Amino acid sequence: MILTGAGISAESGVPTFRGPDGLWEGQRVEDVATPRAFRRDPRLVQTFYDQRRAALARVEPNPAHHALARLDALWPRSDGRDLLLVTQNVDDLHERAGSKRLLHMHGELKSAWCLACDSRMSWEGTLLDAPACPACNASGTLRPDIVWFGEMPYHMAVIERAISRADLFVAIGTSGNVYPAAGYVDLAREAGAHTLELNLDPSMTSPRFAESRLGPAGTLVPALVNDLLENR
Ligand code: NAD
């Protein structure tokens, strides 16, 4: 079970969340990543995510994303020896690298959600002043399919079941500030898994991992994948 965060995409040029100034791309999270912010100023929030979506065209997966896709391609699929990659990221770099056994627990920039009919649909363009919902034809009802603060992350039951059966739990490039993902190391430890963190700097959750390796994901992840495949 592998959990990734914004740090894995940093070397691709996607800024992390709580950079040195505590902002996400110049915005306070309270202003762009909560349901309240969307009710208060929908145009600001739509514009923010439209810009993030557009920026994906200017970045590419890095060696860490490619290494995890290689692991997915070569790792067994049998019951009891499976693999699951869970990302907190809303970018599409894991799938562009080729990962298939992948869940986005915080949603995806390239997905829209209709608040009228509850449909989710892949979305490439802008959502500000978007056309009517292609599924139900309602107007002005599409929002970014992103899990904002205060909302329930996706796929929680599947993720927690995978952790309860895991013998290895790896967290890559995540600060340990955002729950429930930050608590997954504790579930994994309770389940008897080896817990390994790969991060540029010590994180909030480092003391709760059995093992931490410090360095850039673009170097540490390919080395880990080589080890896992050699000792499979
Ligand atoms: P975070 O931004 O809070 O923390 C990033 C972590 O990555 C830090 O601990 C940092 O030390 C580490 N890091 C930075 N560069 C690294 C590198 N080259 N190699 C390895 N580690 C590196 O990220 P988070 O814990 O994922 O929480 C942020 C939330 O914001 C998530 O829920 C996510 O949905 C959202 N977000 C997503 C993206 C994205 O999709 N790429 C970007 C920013 C924020």
Q: Enumerate residues lining ligand 1, CB below 6 A.
A: 5-7, 9-11, 14, 16-18, 24, 88-91, 106, 173-175, 177-178, 199-201, 203, 216-217
- Tell me which residue has its CA closest to atom 14 in ligand 1: 7
The proportion of the chain whose per-residue pLDDT surpasses 90, expressed as a percent, equals 86
Q: Of 180, 167, 179, 224, which Cα lies nearest the Cα of 198? A: 224
Which of 11, 12, 17 to mutate for ligand 1's pocket (most ligand atoms within 8 Å of CB)? 17
Exposure class string for 51-87: b at 16+ Cβ within 10 A, else e: ebbeebeebebbbbbbbbbbbbeebeeeeeeebbbbb
**Does the global pTM surpass 0.85?**
yes
pLDDT value of position 17: 78
- Alpha carbon 167 to its chain's center: 21
- Which residues, 6 or more positions from 211, have their beta carbon under 8 angstroms from its beta carbon? 194, 195, 196, 197
Q: Specify whether 65 is catalytic.
A: no
- pLDDT tens for residues 136-195? 999 999 999 999 999 999 999 999 999 999 999 999 999 998 999 999 999 999 999 999
- Tell me which residue has its CA closest to atom 37 in ligand 1: 89
The residue from 66, 106, 155, 194 that is catalytic is: 106
- Which residues, 6 or more positions from 221, have their beta carbon under 8 angstroms from its beta carbon? 8, 63, 64, 67, 68, 172, 198
pLDDT along the chain (232 residues), means of 10: 97 81 75 94 96 97 98 88 96 98 98 98 95 96 96 98 96 94 98 98 94 98 97 86
- Residue 124, classed as helix, strand or coil, is coil
Distance, in Å, from the CA atom of 193 to the CA atom of 134, rounded to the nearest integer, reads: 44
| 107-114 and 85-87 strand pairing | unpaired
- Which DSSP symbol is given to 165? T
- Which DSSP symbol is given to 27? B
